[in-house]
Amino acid sequence: MTPETLDKPDLVLHGHFDKDHERRYAHVPFDVPAGRRQIHIRYSYNDQIDSDPTLGGGNTLDIGLFDERGIAESSAGFRGWSGSEKMEFTIDESWATPPYRKGKIRPGGWHVLLGPYKVGPRGCDWKVEIWFDPGVPSPWRGVGISRRVDPDPLPEARPGWLRGDLHCHTLYSDGDSWPPEMLSAAGAAGLDFLGVTDHNNVGHQLAYGPGGDGLPIVVPGIEVTTYGGHWNAWGTDRWWEFREPESKAVERTIRAAAESGAVVSICHPKPFGPPWEYEGVTGFHAVEVWNGPWAQQNAASLAFWESLLRRGDRRVALGGSDTHYLHGRNLGARDADRLGAPTTWVQVGDRPTAKTILEALREGRSFVSESPGGPQLYLEPDRGRAGRVSVEVRGGAGGRLELVTDTATPVVRMVDGDAWDDAFEVPAGAAYVRAQLTSARGDVRALANPVWAERL
């Protein structure tokens, strides 16, 4: 029995969402009889369009599943959420379609979670079909970890610094690869760590394992994906509430994640990121100022971050490639996905672990560059003299180094060699100073976190 040859379903649920239900989750109850070992769910709806935020005029319906343990916040009954990516999935006692969780099929009241992300002019008529014990065989075969490829030699970092990518997706959400493939691709790209952030699930974390031992260190994370914006949390092994797209609820969850020890970052606050719609929400550590190639609207994310800095709101800048596809798939700009574009560099000293990487991220001992090859940009208080900073640029010949403060016009120097450094007087009264390296076209090639005045 394969999903293509299923008989009539045991249960059919259906309903309708109007435009005024857009972006509000619904929990549709159904009963699971005793003695079952497998559930297969398939759904469909009219006027289906892709979840790409640039598309409108039709319907995009997300789906997830809760078992009999209930739908409450942080419930252990959350069996997974696949967005609009999978039109059917199986949960068996001994296996499940990723990102869903395998495990006991207990009798009782279960819920299909339906999220009308977009509702078109004709409304959304949906149908969910459910089979109990249809006998779908496991599609899992040994997913061979691809041969390890030694990366091309990259320019050396300063001692104690690591390079990594903080944002990627696998088959556990809307990517096209298995976690071991993603990890070995990150190794081949020359990265020392990989933040793993599938949407609204943590099932991928087990499939990755801890990394290290010749592969990049895994920094376990999740992209909490809500209808008003996305946020990443790293250093957490549980799902976080995503069903309430309201500022108050989002801030409450962000604060809870931060208090649990996670590093929290707002993702891609720029047009079509999708953007961040929760004005005034705080409690996060960082902003993903650089998501994918710089030219893809990242100047808007940088402006968002800088407006926080100017208010004295100390958030750390970091980057992530948001890689979805290792095997090529024709989805326009997303073809440009490349691990390490951009790369986030962190200072961890002589103990490279997920924990020290998280600490460096939280504290902003980091900078971002266009690729694992650099350019490298180190900004620090000048050890020799108070009121000054020193800047070292490696591999940035031909670029423009800009020193930005909240009070004066940026100071600009041309970087005339691949091993370049200089020191700068910081204008009196400046609250912070930060540095960026730009190309002749004005694209940012590297971006350093600020030094705040009290350290000068």
Chain positions contacting Zn ion, by CB under 5 A? 230, 267
Alpha carbon of residue 22 to chain centroid: 24
**Is 215 or 224 the residue whose CB approaches Zn ion more closely?**
224
Half-sphere exposure of 69 (CA within 13 A, CB side): 11
Residue with tokens 């496991």: 138
Our CB check for Zn ion shows the closer of 230 and 285 to be 230
Nearer to Zn ion, 204 or 230 (CB): 230
CB of 231 to Zn ion, least distance (A): 9
From the CB of 246, what's the least distance to Zn ion, in Å? Answer: 19
The token duo for 138 is 């496991």
Tokens 């300063």 locate to: 158
CB 89 within 8 A of CB 96: yes
Minimum CB separation of residue 335 from Zn ion in Å reads 17
DSSP 258-286: HHTT-EEEE---STTS-----TT----SE
Residue 291 vs 366, nearer CB to Zn ion: 291
Q: Torsions phi, psi of 71, nearest 5?
A: -105, 10
Nearest CA-CA partner of 96 in 115, 112, 81: 81
Nearest distance from C-beta of residue 25 to Zn ion, angstroms: 18
Nearer to Zn ion, 267 or 415 (CB): 267
> Rounded to an integer, what distance in angstroms lies between the CA atom of residue 439 and that of residue 426?
23
Quote the tokens at residue 123: 């409304």
Of 401, 434, 436, 394, the closest CA to residue 415 belongs to 401
CB of 80 to Zn ion, least distance (A): 18
- Give whichever of 175 and 203 is closer to Zn ion, judged by the CB atom: 175
Q: Which of 341, 263, 332, 264 is nearest to 298 (CA)?
A: 341
To Zn ion, the closest distance from the beta carbon of 83 in angstroms equals 11
Q: How far is the CB of 81 from Zn ion (least distance, A)?
A: 14
How is residue 440 annotated by DSSP?
Answer: T
- Rounded to whole angstroms, the Cα distance separating 146 from 392 reads 37
- Our CB check for Zn ion shows the closer of 96 and 267 to be 267
Residue 272 in tokens: 């079509």
Kindly tell me which of 267 and 341 has the beta carbon lying closer to Zn ion: 267
Answer yes or no: are the C-beta atoms of 168 and 175 closer than 8 Å: yes
Going edge to edge, which strands form the sheet with 38-45? 11-17, 124-132, 38-45, 88-92
Residue closest to Zn ion when measured from CB atoms: 230
Nearest to 73 by CA among 209, 256, 234: 256
**Least distance CB 26 / Zn ion (angstroms):** 23
Which residues neighbour 454 within 8 Å (Cβ) at sequence distance 6 or greater? none
Residue labelled with tokens 């296996």: 95
Shortest CB 257 distance to Zn ion, Å: 16
Please identify, using beta-carbon distances, which residue of 232 and 376 lies nearer to Zn ion.
Answer: 232
Rounded Cα–Cα distance for residues 221 and 233 (Å): 5
CB of 386 to Zn ion, least distance (A): 42
Between residues 230 and 394, which has the closer beta carbon with respect to Zn ion?
Answer: 230
